[in-house]
Structure 1
Amino acid sequence: MSCLKCLKYTMCVANFLFFVCGAVILGFGIFMMTQTKFSSLLPSLPFMSITNILIIAGIVITCVSFLGFLGAYKENRCLLITFFILLFVVMLVELAGACILLVYEKKMYIGEKITNDLNKSLEEARQSHKSSVNGTVRVVRDDWDLFQKTFKCCGVKSWKDWKGETPSSCCEQTSSCNATGPYWEKGCHTMMETWFEDNLLNTGIGVIVICSIEVLGMCFSMTLFCHISRSGLGYKI
């Protein structure tokens, strides 16, 4: 009985911590909605938006962890089995996403899709030099400036993509930069591919760690569920 009590409160503490983390991630995602972000650079691939990923992850973590906390604290079989099912579904989605990335990472379709989006958004950003500039164009230009400063790149393939309207965010040294540079040599598409390849292993390790935690949570919830069933506590609320 003492071990089961320990299991119950361990689930409560762990799910409470995950709930707090999920709330922080959700709040940060909402905050980023009001800030400059990279979503305008890839309009046809909204799932790659950092803001969307943070908001979705925050909602899932808070909802699932809340069910786990309440189910363990109240010793409610309905909540515990719901927690188990949701964890299982989330784990399947994560594994499916990881497999898709591994299978299709080298497919030309994804590369061409990203290239087309970058070319289109860069053309919109170039419009900011013209007399009529709306809010959308300004956001795209701000996103490109932040993108180029972050990845230390210029244009899609090179600085020549800006066609004589190269922004200062392309400059290696802003103080000594002029109409001909020196600009970052590599294009942003190349730097994106390099970044994804460099972080592919870390992403895989992260998925494995998360899935391990989810399996542990499912084992704990099922153990507590079976104990409640044997004790005849029913659907206590």
Structure 2
Amino acid sequence: MASEKTSFCIVKYVFFAFNVFIWLLGCGVLALGIWLQVNRGPFVSLLPAYSFLSASALCITAGAIILVVGFLGCCGAFLENQCMLIGYFVMVLLIFALEITAGTLGFVKKDEVQMLIKKELLSSIKTEYAPRVQNPDIEGWREIFDSLQLELQCCGVNNYTDWYNIQAWPDEARVPDSCCVEPATSCGQLDKSFWFDRGCLGEIEYWFVRNMYVLGVVGITVGVIQILGMVAAIVLFCYLRNRKFLL
């Protein structure tokens, strides 16, 4: 009986401390999302047609979900509330299932997703890139795309010709200055020998392949933590339901 009580207490307080951390993390992510939404800096979506994928929207959604999960875990453990523990288990299980589903669909429909992203990026380049327009959304999209080109040393989606004759400079075969090997004012109007010749879509794919090991480790770690959280919630629930001892 004493060993069971000790085991219960260890699981309870470790579970409680972990979910306090999760709750604080949720507060931080939610605050970051609200700050991004208010400021609308260079953190908008690269795909304007899918504004719900913007950094601010994703942070707010993720922060709210993490906040609720952490709250249920903390209160369920501290108050020894079986309903909250079951609610915690169900929410974490749903999140885990959605992650598995999204990963599977992304792998199976990889080519379709790639074509959709390519189409949206090309469309955005043609219509959204406007250096002289004072609009927070457009400015943010332009800044993040320029940063992407500078960081990955690429130009356009397929190559630099994607920038030719866009809405911002019709009838001109030029590129943004962020496409230049050595960025300088108006270098995008020079000869193509001054520009990166690789497209950004290929560079992004290469980045994912190059970091696949890290992404895999992160994914597995998150999955293991979620499974352990669900196991702990069920263990606490079973102890409380059976009422084998009193604290």
Q: TM-score range by the shorter chain?
A: 0.7 to 0.9
What is the alpha-carbon distance in structure 1 between the residues aligned to residue 130 and residue 105 of structure 2?
A: 36
Deviation at 1:69, TM superposition (A): 0.5
What is the alpha-carbon distance in structure 1 between the residues aligned to residue 103 and residue 216 of structure 2?
A: 7
Q: Which residue in 2 is equivalent to 1:57?
A: 62
8 A contact 2:177–2:185 mirrored in 1: no
Mapped pair 1:123 → 2:126: yes
Q: Deviations over 1:16-44 (max 9, x none)?
A: 011112222222233333211251x3134
8 A contact 1:171–1:177 mirrored in 2: no
Mapped pair 1:96 → 2:97: no
Deviation at 1:45, TM superposition (A): 4.0
8 A contact 1:7–1:220 mirrored in 2: yes
Task: Determine what percentage of the aligned residue pairs are the same residue.
Answer: 28
What is the alpha-carbon distance in structure 2 between the residues aligned to residue 191 and residue 30 of structure 1?
A: 31
Mapped pair 1:20 → 2:32: no
Q: Which residue in 2 is equivalent to 1:74?
A: 79
User: Where in structure 1 are there 5+ consecutive unaligned residues?
Assistant: none
Deviation at 1:68, TM superposition (A): 0.4
Over aligned residue pairs, what C-alpha RMSD do you find?
Answer: 2.4
8 A contact 1:125–1:144 mirrored in 2: no
Q: TM-score, normalised by structure 2?
A: 0.81
Q: Larger RCO: Structure 1 or Structure 2 (Cα < 8 Å, ≥ 6 residues apart)? A: 1
8 A contact 2:177–2:184 mirrored in 1: no
Q: Which residue in 2 is equivalent to 1:4?
A: 8
1:184 is paired with a residue of what secondary structure? coil
Q: Which residue in 1 is equivalent to 2:169?
A: none
One-letter code aligned to 1:230: N
8 A contact 2:106–2:113 mirrored in 1: no
Q: 1:155 to 1:69 in 2, by over 3 A?
A: same
8 A contact 1:126–1:162 mirrored in 2: no
What is the alpha-carbon distance in structure 2 between the residues aligned to residue 202 and residue 104 of structure 1?
A: 22
